[in-house]
Chains A and B, each alone.
Chain A
Amino acid sequence: MTILLQLFAAFIQVGLFSVGGGYAAIPLIQNQIVDHYGLMTLEEFTDLITIAEMTPGPISINSATFVGTRLAGIPGAVLCTLGCVLPSFIICLALAFFYYKYRSFGGVQTVLAALRPAVVALIASAGISILLLALFAGEGAAVSLSNLHLIELALFAGGLFLLRKYKTNAISIIFGSGVVGTAAYFALGLV
């Protein structure tokens, strides 16, 4: 019982203090889970980050589930995730309420209009980092022509063409690139 409460408390703090999402949350999780509560070793934590990077979903939800499952089974996973999500739920619900109440006011519109171009730029920046990761795979790999992955380049170009020209569904593109790309890797004997 105490471990469940500790887990819950630890992940409420992770949810509450990880502003900016994703990688910003990693040191915070490490601080709570490894250093403060001693619920995991540093080695287990490193494994966790590797897996969290490989699987879909937000990193803090991934780690909440991983830590919870390993320490207290499914109830642990549920409780950790709940802790992690609770601050978001309360804060964003309040913000959503105010946003929908005041967003039609002229002044609020002007302020929000200045934020939108920045958000477009931020999405573009996320797109570029993931494209670089796809084309030049592996952290630390140099961005050079000799390192360029042609299969990924073809998948990217083909995917973008299908999306622009035929408005193909996004999930089909992601899933399709997984199937076609893996087949290509094996057919060309690259693995």
Chain B
Amino acid sequence: MKNERTKLQTLWMLFKATFMLSAFTFGGGFVIVSLMKKKFVEELKWLDEEEMLDITAIAQSSPGPIPINASVILGYRMCGVIGSVVAILGTALPPMIIISTISYFYTQFRTNTVIAVALQVMRAGVAAVIFDVVINLAKNVLKTRRALYIGLMSAAFVAAVVLDISAMTIVLVCLFVGIADMLLQTKREKTAQKEEA
């Protein structure tokens, strides 16, 4: 009985969190991922940072909207399939409510100066949140002190910002680098074992 209630409580918190994050996410998939990191890793401590980054990579590489994809995985992690459904609901409801309301008077909405100004200045706040998250994440990559990871981060940054290469391609290339790294490591371990024997 007590277990039931805690599960319900978790589902409710999951719904509340995804709903609030989705309602304030302007500007695409990676924005909500930064907010999710702050909420679920730093505030609620439901996940560790590496897990959140893995979820992001999976969400980015799967078809469909990144926020929905991330919600599905996050929900599954917390409460299984029901968790996924609840997280999708939380993420999809705010845009649904906002857009279906707006679709009835969208010309007024589009030409309203107060709304236009508010939306413009809010981007500054969104950018601050993303930078805050990135500073923490980048620090931890530097802390690994592994040239491969620091190199991959710098190369991916240049590829995305300067060369305008798609996120999908960057993730795929790093996936291959990761597989190569794993194969090399297993090989090294095997030779080490042989030497011991």
Contact = CB atoms under 8 A, between A and B. Distances in A.
Interface of A: 15-25, 47, 50-52, 54-62, 65-66, 69-70, 74, 77-78, 81, 84-85, 87-89, 91-93, 95-97, 99-100, 103, 107, 110-128, 130-131, 133-135, 137, 151-153, 155-160, 163-164, 167, 169-171, 173-182, 184-186, 191
**Candidate in A47, A119, A127 with the most chain B CB atoms within 10 angstroms:** A119
Contacts of B92: 57, 61, 81, 85
A113 B126 contact: no
B197 interface: no
B178 A133 contact: no
B68 A51 contact: no
B106 A51 contact: yes
Nearest to B32: A58
Given A85-B68, A89-B72, A126-B27, A111 B178 contact: yes
A61 B178 contact: no
Interface of B: 20-31, 33-35, 38-39, 42-43, 50, 53-54, 56-69, 72-73, 76-77, 81, 84-85, 88, 92, 94-96, 98-100, 102-104, 106, 109-110, 113-135, 137-138, 141, 148-150, 152-157, 159-161, 166-168, 170-171, 173-175, 177-179, 181-182, 185-186
Q: Is the interface of A mostly helix, strand, loop or mixed?
A: helix
Nearest to A25: B65
Contact of A137 (B24, B95, B120, B134): B120
Contacts of A171: 20-21, 24, 35
9 contacts: A19-B168, A21-B28, A54-B109, A58-B95, A65-B100, A95-B58, A124-B138, A126-B34, A130-B130
B124 A115 contact: no
A171 to B, nearest CB: 5
